[in-house]
Structure 1
Amino acid sequence: MERAPEHASTGGPDGPATRPGEPTTALELLVHGVGGTTPQEMLNDPRTVRVTGDDTAAVFRRADDVDAEHNPDDRRREGPVPEAYVWCNLTSGNGTRALWLLLLPFMVVNLAHWMRPSAHGRRRTVRLYGLLVRLAALTLTVLLVAAACEVALDLAAWQCAGTTACADRHSWLGFLSPGVSDGGWWSAPGRRLALAAVVPTALTVLLWYLSRRTWSDYESQQPIERAAEPEGDGGPTALGRPGFWYGRRLVARLRAAHTAAGLITVAAAVGSAAARHDRRPGGPAVLDVLGLILEAALAACAVAVVWVVCRRGRSERRLDRKLDERFVRRLPLVALVLLALALLYAGWERPGWTSEGRLPGDATFGGIALVQGLLVIVLGVVAHGLHRTDPDRRAVLRGLGGPAVAMLACALGGVMSGGVSQRVSDWLDGTGASIEGPPVLLTWQASVIPPLLVVLLGLIGWLAHRAWQLASAERAAVALDYPDEAEDPARTRRIAYTRAMASLTDRGPRIVAVTSGATLLLGAGALVGALATDETPAEAAQGASPVVHGAAETAQALGSWLIGLGFILFVTWGRRAYKDASARRTIGILWDVGTFWPRASHP
């Protein structure tokens, strides 16, 4: 393959500069699908030349058509000049693309914003819809950072390092264990938590870096200046609004809020344990007051984060070139200062302080699950109201597609957080008796996975039966479509099967609806069970009938293995994507399709 000099355009803003009466050359642009291909295959010619672009994306021509503009009367050419746009390397990238798997729930919740039903004259309701999705996205960030805190702070630093039997099995935790290190400086519970806080803090910084990098590459690119459009529903021309693709201010604002939320989560996890110890009867009065001040400051910063997320949404009808210079941009810095103060406060000397049981604050996961469920329910009510205002038969699930997808995003976040917590707990606690393990709610959430899989298997069975029925019906239709062809049963079955499988995509919304509905109901049941009993399902079922107790034990054990298996598959896929370009391309295809729309909910 050769490369030709890139052609500079000689036209003005209204088109190419051609003189009247001169012959022109018609061009035919060929664009391949997400599967990718080569320019030789697209142009059906082994000799191709790159006329513009680079190694990532480029436009190719056949070697005989490189100078087609200068020879429009070439008799060897019939029809327009074909050009092949090859963009498959956009979905490949380097090994860091495997990190995108970590952002899968964020991508899904961003899609929920763009599934909002259209409505005329309901500006406040439309804004409320966007606000609810942004809040749901914020809970996903808090959930991910809280899962990192659960693994590093609770399971490793608090429980395992605080138990001699567990620390003996993991020598790398020996210097944190009071029994193994003979009361070393790092063995104090607060200092163990302060050191372990490096892990969730690093995760928060990684999320900030990924958002900052893509924001600099895409949202910060200045668009062409255009006049603002009047308020009102844009209808089919929404993609052409002046600020539709320009989200520089919103993404920067959301990035600051989500970064601050992650740092506040880490600070609260570290400081709450020390504050609870200082509030005991006879505790140090000075540290007790400092703990109250720290908790009040963290609460105020959390309120500021929520205000920043709720205050402003997307600006599509005009180009909003401003940036929130003062308060919003300094919010992550304030949260970082509070985190440093929390680490200093927790690391202060406290004689007689030992770590027992689970880390205080394990009810955080229950609070996050409750807030997410309420947000999804309210989002469904708002979406239903918008759909009733302006019904559209093409709307997915009668306008409830957005809430359903938001529920799936929350479920993905729950599976990821529960999976990593469960696997790390099993790895640290080899005997299953030295530490208490993750919060009870995560065990309940893992226990509802088997019933959810039963529902999914039922859906798969229904789809298979439906596909068989459609294939049987299509055989007669195929014979009628090709009356002059010789009878070929194998070919007829193949065509009928292909048509039947293609029609199954029309039933995708039903699958999403059933899955999200079952997830919401089972998640609500898990939350109620965890809050009502404060015990695992197997422990809560003790004293019940043998059938109920056996079912609870089976669901708990099977759910624990399934959620762990899901986490292992997730890590395996990410590792394979890091080494294998084809796997990276598959992830890139999914990611490019999912991130086609601008970031409106999560940065």
Structure 2
Amino acid sequence: MCDVTPSSVPGRLSGEIVELRVHGVAGTGAGQMLGCQDVRQVAGDRRAGFYRPGAQSRHTSGPGGTVLEAYQWSELPSGTAGRTLSLVFLLPFMLSNVTFWMRPAGGGLRSGVTALCRLLALTLTLLYALTAAGVVLDLLGWTCLGSSRCLAGRGWLSWLAGRPVGLRLALLALVPFAAVALAWLLSARQVRSYGAFRLPAANSQDAHFTALDRWDVSPTAKRLRAIHVAAAVVTLDLVLLAARAAAGASVAVIVLSALTGALLATCVVLLCFSRLLEPTSTDSTTDRMPVALHVVAGGLTVATLGAVAMEPVRWPRSNGLPRYDAIVAIVFVAQTALLVALAVLVLWRPGGRDRRPALLHGLGAVIVATVAAGLAGALSGELVYRTASLLSGATFVLRPSDPAVPAPAYRWAILAFFLTTIAGAATWAIIILSARADRRRTAAAIVTRDYPAPPPEATTQVQRVRKAVIRASLTEQLGSLGIAYACLTVIGLAAGVLALVGLEPGPLVQSRLGVPSGAVSVVMAIGSYMILAVVGGLLVGGLFPHETAGFRRYGGVLWDIGTFWPHAAHPFAPPCYTDRAVPELTDRICRLARRYDGVVLSGHSHGSVILAATVLRLPPEVRRRVALLTYASPLKRLYAQLHPAYFGDPVLHEVGDRIGWRWLNLWSDTDPIGGWIFSGHRPGDSPLRPSRVALVDRRLRDPENVLPRPGGSPPPQVKGHMPNESDDRYAAAVRELADRLRADLGEQSSWPDRRAA
């Protein structure tokens, strides 16, 4: 695929350099990247493709006479409709995948962190299945169908009310089973969309990033998906069997309970040992493990439904589905224990912790996993609570006397979300206020250095720049906020222990604190509406990212970054576009290297991350013709600290080594996301060695001037994280890299004669 032998392309254009631009998250169109409205697509399809200026465009070439080309990938993560729905229901799954790729650097912790992250992801799947069971089996099939008050005015449920309890539970159980099957089918379909894209064979020294290569279509990913499906199905079986056992355990119920428990334990063991997930023979076209798991789980489900529906027993009277509350509480308690274990494992590092300050202080995996678990619990609690409110006809507050009441674990989850949100907001305010003086002093020093003697008419613009620098420095405060919020969320999840022992929020708070239980019900109602507001915000963020620039910059950021990572922990997450973007870029760069003398890769924001991953996959003969320009890049500020095992300092140095340090990185102090990679070149920074590393970063003054332009026009705006391809300093960087390519290619005596073609 990447043959660059000159004789293979008889039309080689000697002396010409291509500038290939790649946008960031929720990026702009190809026309804006290229600085013209008339563009034509030269490769790719409607979801992602390569564009060049059209024949009628006035801007057909880039800085230094380079051939302009742009790669637009913004439609790969998801379309508008898919983004809208997935952003709500799949966000916890996506975050659990991000957690997996945030493990600390070093092989000593890899197996333990991998096992814990995968087990946490499994609890999210179990909670997904249990939530469907809570809505359909607990509230609808058991509580509402057993209450004349709840059935009043609901004729569409009357036909089930007179059926035997076991039969109606078995019939309604088909709905949560269908929900699991839907998640399975959608995830299996998603990974096929990039099946036609291939990467070249990886070298052994590429191990830090080849873990991403075609993960979602690998046999390991298929096994992971089968494990989650089987675990979700047998958990639903256990819910039915536990309820059936409350009416009197028969031999069939005992045997089925033992078998389903054994299969669930098998799924847990498979996730704990990565080697069990890897096929023994990569040449085999049929993997028996997924088939075996599906067959066994399906057989147990059929037997369970038959045992529940056909055995004539007298079911006990209770306020909720028997033993369902305990099963949900066990999942919440398991999540809490796994999060604590992950925190202990990450904090305890062989050889001591890295003492250098880092975003989230090295606890990124723990914090993101906690957010995923807390969000999943809140969404599950809200769905069950909202269903109970509708069935009970409650206008605002759901009271314990209403006919349909959620399980205690869900009520604790809603109450914990309310308290965690309030405490988190207060903590955020305290952190911001406590560091405000330091941030103002730092911003004042930066502005004074950049604009030492501004005239009076520039005072307003200088103040605007100072505020931008202050806002940009807030990124470093996110670590303290994340740690505080994670601690609060773990405490909230630990409330599942209270639900496990049968304690409910209202009576417990009233007996311990003297607060009326009615006040607790009001707080839970407010918490429910807060979760509903979050869901609405996520829906808006998924619906409008392509409509306005503001939503494009902020609403799509989380989604595009999260779907960059493959399904290494949770198979039901949104599809990973890396399986297409990196191979497609690799192939295009190889084609351009065959036809032109060199390629300047230019990546803005997350585009620089995609290009760094692509550089690591280029063959040696192509890398000799490649230079890299990154601007507003989060490679060091975010990725190297949040994903140290995959984008840490060794990986960044390897990127530079592979392209002969033909690398420039442009950054500014007004950027809240991008920053320097090797050296900030600020006063007091120690010089870097070797010198080629020190020459990568170039700090830009933003804006370049605070005075109005000639003719009375307004002063240049503060760009911050915005793309700046029209900036003269950007153009100068492209020209410098193109000149370096021409000079280095002229010195490579081992390269075949370019005129041979």
TM-score normalised by length of structure 1: 0.83
Structure 1 residue 408 and structure 2 residue 394: aligned? no
Equivalent residues of 1:96, 1:578 under 8 A apart: no
Secondary structure of the 1:33 match is: coil
* Structure-2 residue corresponding to 1:119: 106
Equivalent residues of 1:421, 1:438 under 8 A apart: yes
Cα displacement (A) at 1:219: 6.9
Equivalent residues of 2:96, 2:372 under 8 A apart: yes
Equivalent residues of 2:180, 2:229 under 8 A apart: yes
* Structure-2 residue corresponding to 1:336: 298
Q: How does 1:267-306 map to 2 (within 5 A)?
A: 267-279=237-249, 288-306=250-268
Letter in 1 for 2:120: A
* Structure-2 residue corresponding to 1:448: 416
Cα displacement (A) at 1:257: 0.4
Counterpart among 214, 228, 245 of residue 190 in structure 2: 214
* Structure-1 residue corresponding to 2:139: 155
Change (3 A) 1:575 1:54: same
* Structure-1 residue corresponding to 2:447: 478
Letter in 2 for 1:520: V
* Structure-2 residue corresponding to 1:99: 85
- Worse overlay, 433-442 or 593-602: 433-442
* Structure-1 residue corresponding to 2:698: none
* Structure-2 residue corresponding to 1:521: 491
Deviation track 1:469-511 (CA, whole Å, cap 9, x = no partner) reads 3346534642442135423232122111111111111111211
* Structure-2 residue corresponding to 1:504: 474
Deviation track 1:571-591 (CA, whole Å, cap 9, x = no partner) reads 674488469854997765422
Change (3 A) 1:87 1:207: same
* Structure-1 residue corresponding to 2:45: 54
* Structure-2 residue corresponding to 1:42: 33
Runs of 5+ consecutive residues of structure 1 not aligned to the other structure: 1-8, 69-73, 178-182, 280-287
Equivalent residues of 1:467, 1:500 under 8 A apart: no
Change (3 A) 1:324 1:138: farther
* Structure-2 residue corresponding to 1:285: none
1: CA distance, partners of 2:522 / 2:6: 67
Structure 1 residue 310 and structure 2 residue 272: aligned? yes
Cα displacement (A) at 1:513: 0.7
2: CA distance, partners of 1:117 / 1:323: 35
* Structure-2 residue corresponding to 1:85: 71
Letter in 2 for 1:195: L
Equivalent residues of 2:333, 2:493 under 8 A apart: no
Equivalent residues of 1:112, 1:133 under 8 A apart: yes
Counterpart among 507, 516, 531 of residue 566 in structure 1: 531
Counterpart among 49, 54, 74 of residue 63 in structure 1: 54
- Worse overlay, 419-428 or 318-327: 318-327
Deviation track 1:149-182 (CA, whole Å, cap 9, x = no partner) reads 01110001100011111111432221122xxxxx
Cα displacement (A) at 1:570: 1.5
Letter in 2 for 1:250: T
Letter in 1 for 2:17: A
Structure 1 residue 495 and structure 2 residue 465: aligned? yes
2: CA distance, partners of 1:512 / 1:76: 42
2: CA distance, partners of 1:590 / 1:314: 32
1: CA distance, partners of 2:453 / 2:276: 57
Secondary structure of the 1:55 match is: coil
Deviation track 1:218-266 (CA, whole Å, cap 9, x = no partner) reads 4785543346x3xxxx6xx544447754351221111000001111122
Aligned residues: 556
% identical equivalent positions: 28
Secondary structure of the 2:65 match is: coil
* Structure-2 residue corresponding to 1:375: 338
Change (3 A) 1:486 1:34: same
2: CA distance, partners of 1:391 / 1:314: 32
Change (3 A) 1:278 1:320: same
Secondary structure of the 1:199 match is: helix
Letter in 2 for 1:291: V
- Worse overlay, 591-600 or 35-44: 35-44
Counterpart among 76, 93, 97 of residue 110 in structure 1: 97
Change (3 A) 1:334 1:16: farther
Change (3 A) 1:166 1:246: closer
Secondary structure of the 1:328 match is: helix
- What RMSD over aligned residues (CA atoms) do the two structures have, in Å? 3.4
Cα displacement (A) at 1:320: 5.2
Secondary structure of the 2:569 match is: coil
* Structure-2 residue corresponding to 1:4: none
TM-score normalised by length of structure 2: 0.67
Change (3 A) 1:62 1:427: same
Counterpart among 383, 396, 399 of residue 362 in structure 2: 399
2: CA distance, partners of 1:16 / 1:558: 74
- Worse overlay, 214-223 or 153-162: 214-223
Counterpart among 545, 549, 561 of residue 593 in structure 1: 561
1: CA distance, partners of 2:71 / 2:372: 34
2: CA distance, partners of 1:507 / 1:76: 39
* Structure-2 residue corresponding to 1:3: none
* Structure-2 residue corresponding to 1:283: none
Change (3 A) 1:421 1:323: farther
Counterpart among 469, 484, 504 of residue 536 in structure 1: 504
2: CA distance, partners of 1:501 / 1:313: 46
Runs of 5+ consecutive residues of structure 2 not aligned to the other structure: 572-757
Higher helix fraction: Structure 1 or Structure 2?
A: 1
* Structure-1 residue corresponding to 2:514: 549
Equivalent residues of 2:19, 2:66 under 8 A apart: yes
Equivalent residues of 1:111, 1:594 under 8 A apart: yes
Secondary structure of the 2:68 match is: strand
Cα displacement (A) at 1:52: 1.8
